[in-house]
A = this chain, B = another copy of it.
Amino acid sequence: MASFAERLRKRAGRLSRAQRQLAEFILQNEPRAAFMTAARLGAAVGVSESTVVRFAIALGYSGYPELQRDLQDQLRARLSAADRLVLAEERGERAETILDTVLRTDMDNIRATLASLPRDRFAEAVSALQRARAIYVVGHRSAAALAHYLGYYLQLMLRNARTLTHAGTALEELMAAGPADVVVAVTFPRYARATAEAFRLAARRGARTVLITDSVVSPLVEDAAIVLPARSESPSFADSLVAPLSVINALITAVALAQPEKVRAALRELEDLWDRQGTYLKEERRSDRIVGPGEAGGDAGS
């Protein structure tokens, strides 16, 4: 799981001259190099495509595509939104095709997440949420949306959850957290500092920490007891939170199914409330009977 730079450092003494040229080129042409094919990269440096591939393998990658994805990931974590918008324009994204590009990328994100998310970590997270005295869900900026969603359902089902998306007071709220509690953070590149600070505070107070993030090398990983990685790649200027939301869906469902009686009782009590309040639109009762020819009138419905 080491990054390109770390791999280089470890192997620096054992690289061939051509390989060192490749490494220098990549580091010096960073935004652009991350998007070049093996052939174009070789041509730029004056080496063959197969030298490029061997270089990737020498660094411990499975091949050039894995090296390239690693470069792109690290780039993404550092690029500004404006830079990424420029890249999207350069890649020729157009309004007409953007719907297809984005939705396809999001399907890939879910597929990659399904392939890599450790099932035992997921089960641990479910179990931690079930047993928590109190649950705090932290997320800021765009990730506040996911924190809201997760906190909303956990509070409906378990009644001991708080959503902390207000940068001004999240830390104060966490002063009440301790070893019996679970703190979930949702954070994706470029990682809001407020979330990192809250998560660190939670870890220091001994709370059980669950991290929903883009990869196991996310900067918040060191404060996490349980990491749930979800792929957030995007052709756009902002990371995609689609696969993370799907993981959160699964988390909510698994928590519900792990203690169905309790959750069902909680939901039923809420249904009564929602009925009385008219919270949801009542479907007009459609005519539930078929009236055949000759059968008199009677639409019993609506």
Using CB atoms and an 8 Å cutoff, list the residues of chain A in contact with chain B. 3, 5, 8-9, 12-13, 15, 20, 23-24, 27, 77-78, 80-82, 85-86, 88-89, 93-96, 98-104, 106-107, 110-111, 113-114, 117, 119, 122-123, 126, 140-142, 144-146, 148-149, 152-153, 155-156, 159-160, 162, 165-169, 171-173, 175-176, 190-194, 196-197, 201, 219, 234-238, 240-243, 245-247, 249-250, 252-254, 256-258, 260, 263-264, 266-271, 273, 277-281, 283, 286-293, 301
Nearest CB on B from A111, distance (A): 6
In the assembled complex, which residues on chain B have CB atoms less than 8 Å from the CB atom of A273?
A: 171-172, 175, 201
19 A–B pairs (Cβ distance < 8 Å), ordered by A:
A5-B301, A12-B292, A94-B257, A95-B123, A96-B123, A103-B246, A106-B249, A107-B110, A141-B168, A144-B168, A145-B146, A145-B148, A159-B175, A175-B269, A191-B281, A192-B279, A236-B249, A241-B245, A242-B246
Nearest CB on B from A242, distance (A): 5
Cβ A80 vs Cβ B267 within 8 A: yes
Cβ B148 vs Cβ A160 within 8 A: no
Cβ B12 vs Cβ A264 within 8 A: no
Cβ A160 vs Cβ B144 within 8 A: no
Majority DSSP secondary structure for residues of A touching B: helix
Q: How many of these chains are in the complex?
A: 4
Which of B80, B85, B94, B152 is in CB contact (< 8 Å) with A142?
B152
Given contacts A246-B242, A293-B12, contact A176 B159 (CB under 8 A): yes
Known A82-B264, A145-B146, A238-B252; 18 more pairs at CB < 8 Å? A5-B287, A12-B292, A88-B256, A88-B257, A95-B126, A99-B247, A101-B250, A106-B110, A106-B242, A145-B152, A152-B169, A166-B166, A167-B168, A168-B168, A168-B194, A190-B280, A193-B280, A236-B253
